[in-house]
Amino acid sequence: MSSDRSKLTIQTMSYAYSTAGIVIIGAGMAGSRFAIELARAQQQSKSPNNQRPLPITLISKEPEVGYNRIMLSPVLAGDSAFEDTYLYQQSDYEQLGIVVLAGIAVTAVDTKQQSIKLDNGQTLVYAKLVIATGSSARVIPFPNYDATGVHVFREVADVNALIEYARQGKKGLVIGGGVLGLEAACALASQGADMTVIHVDSYVLNRQLDLPAAQLLQAELALRGVGVKVSAITDYIAVNDQYEVKGLSLKDGRTLPADFIVMAVGVMPNIALARDCGLEVNRGIIVDDCMHTSCPHVYAVGECVELDGELFGMVAPVNQQVDTLVSVLKDTRLSGDSLGSKENWQPFRSTPLSLKLKVSGISTFSAGQVDFDDEEAAAIETITYQQTSINHYHCLYLRNNKLIGAVLYGEVNEGSFYSQLINSNSDIAPIKADLIFGEAYCDLEKVTTDSEANGDMYNDSDLDLLSAADIVGAAS
């Protein structure tokens, strides 16, 4: 996909401007997958009178189209080549007739005229518009946050810049002890950098793990040459006379030396384009369960959307949103502009998520609620298993004989089983004594589930991170 990119853009441009059809703004994991899946669905869909489906145009601000951001950590560590991160090959787009405009940004959307303006001066008319603008790395405006040597970890350009520091053996600090921060620190350490993670809370991954699991993880990070400073609140970024990073000053008076700093403090949905054209936005672009925005003929999917107050930064729900919108738009034709029968639409439903993380080869799993205030903790029962010699740790959190949370470290194969029990609101009293040992030791015929539970009890709900960071990370 990476080779001959300019040829792809030039060859398809005249066709795109004549009949844009369904235009997708954003060619990240959501936008590129939607383009491919919609084109495949169009090919399989039967239409009356052989009406042609609307053509699909995919617009990518980045020159690189449809790569897997999750795979940037292995690229940063030198374990994978960037070419291996592409979700689809150039030939996939070509064979499906998808027009791809790479390295081109959308500057404005006119919803009344159903047109968009591009930064090359061209205008496209659309029949249906899909906004998949994703999210951007959150940057906290500490004093000197824009100094030379301050970076985020989000795109290919970030990877290339950070690798250069590592190859020179530079000293780096990562602000943020979430998944993305730990991945970046481990990757850069493996490439030769001297890395320390700065985290505002009392232990890393505090949104996903409990304290014992986090302590095991922090010990393993130390063995890999990654330092961790917890309960560390940033005051300002120290710079030299050339406005280059020379360290990080903390609220407690310490100044930690550094040649470069990586901010890994979450991501924020990219809503500016939607807001500027009059769409309803809050933290994200407001959509309904079929991915309609507040404007006719305009839809949104992925990390940029908000539904019922919820944002989405995981692969599974974003893929489900894509599937929903494919069901809505697959029967749209050149004549009549009908969407097909609503009976065939598959509304998106947000479900509780479990999270299986692999932080530089260290397996952890988290599902349900694992963090409690003092009042809640009084009603919580815990079942714990730990095998110190091999750093395996399991902790189950119960309330009223219902499994409400689980943390696993080191050995995570039972994660799906525990997630199913949490989502089904099962009464686990008959199997409580054996529950910590896993599914094979439990007589599931004795388990009763809540009649109101969703139908996903036996679906594998282990998910991968899309952003590898919380949607809104805590400031460090």
**d(C-alpha 29, C-alpha 343), whole Å:** 27
Task: Provide the pLDDT for residue 466.
Answer: 40
Cβ count within 10 A of residue 283 = 15
pLDDT of res. 340: 57
Q: CA-CA distance, 135 to 427, in Å (whole number)? A: 39
| Contact criterion met (CB below 8 Å) for 315 and 282 | no
What percentage of the chain exceeds 90 in pLDDT?
76
The tokens for 376 are: 């809640």
Q: What is the pLDDT of residues 44-68, one digit of tens each?
A: 876 666 678 899 999 999 999 999 9
Both structure tokens of 156: 């290919």
CA distance 404 to 420: 11
C-alpha 57/C-alpha 444 separation (Å) is 50
Q: Alpha-carbon distance 88 to 211, whole Å?
A: 40
**Do the Cβ atoms of 49 and 101 come closer than 8 Å?**
no
**pLDDT tens per residue, range 88-135:** 999 999 999 999 999 999 999 999 999 999 999 999 999 999 999 999
Identify the pLDDT of residue 91.
94
Contacts of 91 (CB under 8 A, 6+ apart): none
Q: Nearest CA to 275 among 111, 60, 470? A: 111
Q: What is the pLDDT of residue 348?
A: 95
Report which residue type is found at 438: G
148 residue type, one letter: T
Amino acid 225 reads G
pLDDT score, position 341: 64
The angle formed by the CA atoms of residues 410, 411 and 414, to the nearest 5 degrees, is: 145
Distance between CA atoms of 241 and 258, rounded to whole angstroms? 15
Residues of the chain with pLDDT under 50: 1-18, 451-476
